[in-house]
A and B are shown apart, each in its own frame.
Chain A
Amino acid sequence: MPRVQEKAHVGAKELTAMTTVLVAIHVFLDYPAYVSKYGLEAAWMEPVVSGVAALILFLCAETMLRRYFPNDSIVEVVRGTLGPWVAACIALVFAAYLILITASIMREFMENVITSVLPATPILVVGGLFILTVGYMVHTGLEGIARVSTMAWPVLVLGVLALCLLTINYWHPYFLVPFWGKGPRQVLLGSANSAAIFLNVLLLCVVYPHAHNPRDLRRVGVISTVQTVILLTGFVLCYHMVFAPEETTKLASPMYAVARLIHIGHFIQRLESVFVFMWVSAAVVKLAITLWSAAYLLAAGFGWPTYRPLLPALCLLCLAISLLPHDVASAFDLHGDVLMRWGWVIAFAAPLLLLGAGILRRRRERARRA
């Protein structure tokens, strides 16, 4: 069976940038506020704990893939071991989750845009333009997304760095004490609940056959996870040094709130609009990756040679789902309480279980043949 986008091959550096952007974009969304709810002063520990856990799980998945299923994506593994019907069902589940993630983040993003930048513009217009851009980027394929990610990555890093440093005159290090915040248990709970943002495990299982050199994927996973953890932790630290612990849990758009504070002299102030650039571009890249993954999984699961005919339908579906929540609060609740809290099932547990099942099946077959 021909593989979807068979000729697309991406280098290690592009994959690193892509996976980093995929996860690190959460600094611009409600992630800092979400982790603050659990850890308060110790919220910065949560990305570290989640990142370490994600890294361990990724290394397990990568080892299984490399040793038992070289050059196969997760769907191909399932098809080869559990059959095409199961592969289609699994692809459908993964794709549904990714579409939900895309729609949910899009809604958050749209609400943020309307609140901060374009208050008089209808949400449908904001979302429509956004999904059109995302759809176009997905249309360019894995190589297009990876290359744009490569260019967006330094912008993202510089943006987060600038955001942190330009608020240096508002830093209150004593906001970070007590050291354990609400306590280690809450930190662990918050880490577990927010670990689903580390979608890079799932993504790397999907793009495995498209890497120039699949042996590089371990390095890609490790570097991207470390970079992401540094960015997330750095921003959460900065956020907590700027705002009081209780306040950090209530802000809907932490990045925007931090950017609004910037006041370095008369001419460097109120730079939140500048951060709209990196915020929007990073969001486009992030959602393009998730939407591409969804389309790719569907095409691979059902054995279609290409995913492009799916794109208009998927874009429309994402837009429609994103408009389902009644208001901002329900949109944030859906994202935080459902997708973030239970996302680990899809992001970590399912790939590892499927790979484990595949390995068992393969071993059993070998034993039977022997």
Chain B
Amino acid sequence: MNVPAWLARLFTIDDGVVEEPFSLLEDRPGQAQAGADTGAADGAGERNAETDKGGQGRDGESAGGAAPDAGDRAARADSPGQADSAREAGAEPGEVEVIRPIPLEAYIRQSAQASPEKSPEAGLEDKVPAEIGRVRKAVEQLFHADVNKDIVIREFIIQAESRGQAKDGKPAESQVPAEPRGHAVAGGPAASQEPTQDGSPAAGGGKKPWRALAVFVDGLVDKMTINTHILQPLMLLTAIADEPVERRLQTVSEALLPGNQVTKFEDWKDIVPGILSGCTAVFVDGSPGALIVETRGWEHRTVGLAQTETVVRGPHEGFTESFRANTGLVRAELRCKDLITEMMHVGRLAPTDVALMYVQGVVNPKLVDEVKRRIQAIDVDYLPDSGLLEQFIEDNPRLVVPNTLTTERPDRIAHMLMEGHVAIFVGNSPFAIAVPVVFWQLVHSPEDAYLRFPFGSFLRLLRWLALSLALLTPALYVSITNYHPEMIPTDLMLAIAGSREQVPFPVITEILMMEFSIELIREAGIRIPSVIGPTIGIVGALIIGQAAVQAGIVSPLLVIVIAVTALASFAIPNYNLAFGVRTMRFVFLAAAAVFGFYGLTLALCWAAARLAVQKSFGVPMLSPVAPRMDTSKDVFLRGPAFVMNQRPVFLQTQKAWREQPASRPWSKATMPNALRRFGDSVRSPRKGGKH
């Protein structure tokens, strides 16, 4: 039924601001009036939402210009073809284009058809042209050199001359003056020495100048390397005979570039990522293709202490924001010829390097294939960090318990690789991912292995206790005080009752207030500038401790409960698991607040059942406990290093044994045990992976 406008107005807020919501887009004349006429706020809202959606597409186009997949945000949200057709049809600004949903398959097909047209490589050949002028144009087009100021295109001359002349000792630099870098060279001195098309000398007796081009990204490269290892040898120290044009690039690679990594590519698709990753591309006139010279050298944090996984005993270094440094750190730790680093790229607009590390011959090949399959399935414009990759590849991202292990410690990754895990490095993320992971590993710390086993076991016990406390203490407190006070000895109960006498709130309100305060302090402690960081501790202590108790808002016992809970949560070594515990604590708190121990137990049963069927890359997360598997004693406690001689069974590795069954053959204390367990075969050395 249509409600008359005058009647509708009586029941709506008569406010001009509501009728004309702020928008970056120019509204169609009379739109506001139309909105008022209908009198339906929801309808207006929907219209505005649609208008905004259309606007985003246009913004994308205008801002992106010729950028790859310009306006693709709108296209991804709806349909790539439809957004474009709407723009091409010259739709009025603000006009609502009704876009019908299409099936996913059709969307993918349309995207695949649409993307080549929008590609910056449109109109370009796949192969690098031989003529240097065309190369320059192509590079400028590819990297939007007219507006992009950190792409450096350095044009120069390689003075090829007869060997006889070089022996005369005539310095080549006298022929080619130094040039300023960048685009300014376009009309510079090099251009003035334009050689003829057939490569004949333009000036000087026996000189055979080859025009060349160096392309790199300012800020990503080590300029010293470019100057001393590319430009100087090519421009100043050239002493080669002239070569046929098609061999020039090979000659430059073999005789003139002293860089340690020089690779020849002929396709733009190989060259562009190289330039974007900090290498320098060298093009030589007449030779199709380019030499990609390793010149990476961007600024990054040096290898420092691990920030979130500190230990007392053991290596202290952590990963940093340098991809190669990170893989190198693992290599330095694990000097194994079978350690494989496979490279992949994720991201359409801005490919991010992703490295897969594993030990060939140890790891289960199916695991490697599965990891690669999941990574290759990621289709995004940009993948900034390992935290995002983790969400794309893990089995169940909705589960509060992480399905992957994230670490910033090279030694931990090295250890896990030797166990048969696969490590994943993402771009410049200082965290590496190890898969698969079982729940128990999330409570392990590398230090457990470095300490003698009784101490390692003690630490683990402490951490298990901490995990239980962090998860259940507030819930238990609420249950006991609300539902089961008979458990508390009379004296203690009277003391608790006395301390709560002044508190006007129910226990659950008290706990929620305190938990909220703790979470607030924790979050503020991370975000606050480090200069005033210590203040937060003082403020927190004042608020939570003394002031809250004195004001009668919370009871002193509760302060202890919350403090113990917070301390316990800090003792959980895995940051992601700690988050999960923080979240689940509130779930258990709610269950306990409503149904006491009964509710708490039912919630625990739900959690246990959920976790029992959860898998991480094909491995049940509760193995080797449930399902039970006979494996080394490295689950709840830490076994002696000389007893844990098998790799985890759940990883189904190619080699089951990682050390001799009797790794202390000289010891009368341990050898009898080994003999009892494995028989006389332990006296002979290990052969391959079988025992």
Contacts and interface: CB of A to CB of B under 8 A. Distances in A.
A14 B626 CA distance: 7
B613 A140 contact: yes
B608 to A, nearest CB: 5
A284 B598 CA distance: 11
B598 A117 contact: yes
B627 A147 contact: yes
Contacts of A140: 609-610, 612-613
Interface stretch (A51-59, A60-68, A231-239, A275-283): A275-283
A13 B613 contact: no
Contact of A144 (B483, B609, B628): B609
A261 interface: no
Interface in A97-136: 113, 117-118, 121, 126, 129-130, 133, 136
Contact of A281 (B487, B604, B622): B604
A272 B605 CA distance: 19
A137 B609 contact: yes
A80 interface: no
B613 A133 contact: no
Nearest to A11: B627
B620 interface: yes
A148 interface: yes
B599 interface: yes
Interface in B595-627: 595-602, 604-606, 608-610, 612-613, 620, 622, 625-627
B42 interface: no
A148 B605 contact: yes
Interface string A259-297: 000000011011111101100110011000000000000
A270 B486 CA distance: 6
A46 B595 CA distance: 37
B489 interface: yes
Interface in A37-87: none
Contacts of B622: 147, 151
B80 to A, nearest CB: 39
A24 to B, nearest CB: 17
A146 B622 CA distance: 12
Contact of B487 (A113, A136, A273): A273
Interface string B625-652: 1111000000000000000000000000
Contacts of B664: none
B76 interface: no
Most buried by B among A10, A148, A272: A148
A11 B628 contact: yes
Interface residues of B, number: 30
A130 B596 contact: no
A148 B626 contact: yes
B601 A147 contact: no
A110 to B, nearest CB: 10
A141 B613 contact: yes
Contacts of A30: none
Contacts of B602: 129-130, 133, 280, 284
A133 B606 contact: yes
Interface in A185-234: none
Given A13-B628, A133-B606, A147-B627, A126 B487 contact: no
B598 A151 contact: no
A270 B488 CA distance: 8
A279 to B, nearest CB: 8
Interface in A144-163: 144-148, 150-151
A136 B598 contact: no
Nearest to A137: B609
Contacts of B601: 276-277, 280-281, 284
Given A14-B628, A121-B595, A150-B627, A274 B613 contact: no
A150 B606 contact: no
A118 B610 contact: no
A13 B609 CA distance: 17
A266 B488 CA distance: 10
Contact of B609 (A11, A136, A150, A274): A136
Nearest to B603: A133
A36 B608 CA distance: 35
A11 to B, nearest CB: 5
Contacts of B137: none
Interface string B54-82: 00000000000000000000000000000
A143 B595 CA distance: 29
A6 to B, nearest CB: 16
B597 A129 contact: no
A147 B597 contact: no
Interface in B559-599: 595-599
Nearest to A278: B601
B484 interface: yes
B484 A273 contact: yes
Interface in B382-407: none
Given A133-B605, A136-B609, A143-B613, A151 B626 contact: yes
B483 A118 contact: yes
Nearest to B622: A147
A117 B627 CA distance: 33
Contact of B605 (A13, A137, A147): A137
A284 B601 CA distance: 10
A276 B626 contact: no
B612 A276 contact: no
A151 B609 CA distance: 10
A13 B484 CA distance: 36
21 contacts: A13-B627, A117-B597, A118-B596, A121-B595, A136-B606, A140-B609, A141-B613, A144-B613, A147-B612, A148-B626, A150-B626, A150-B628, A151-B626, A266-B491, A267-B489, A270-B486, A276-B601, A277-B604, A280-B601, A280-B605, A281-B601
Give 10 nearest A-B pairs by CB, closest first: A147-B626, A147-B612, A273-B484, A280-B601, A13-B628, A150-B626, A144-B613, A276-B597, A137-B609, A140-B613
Given A147-B626, A281-B601, 13 more contacts: A11-B627, A13-B627, A117-B597, A129-B595, A136-B606, A141-B613, A147-B620, A148-B605, A151-B612, A273-B487, A276-B598, A280-B601, A280-B602
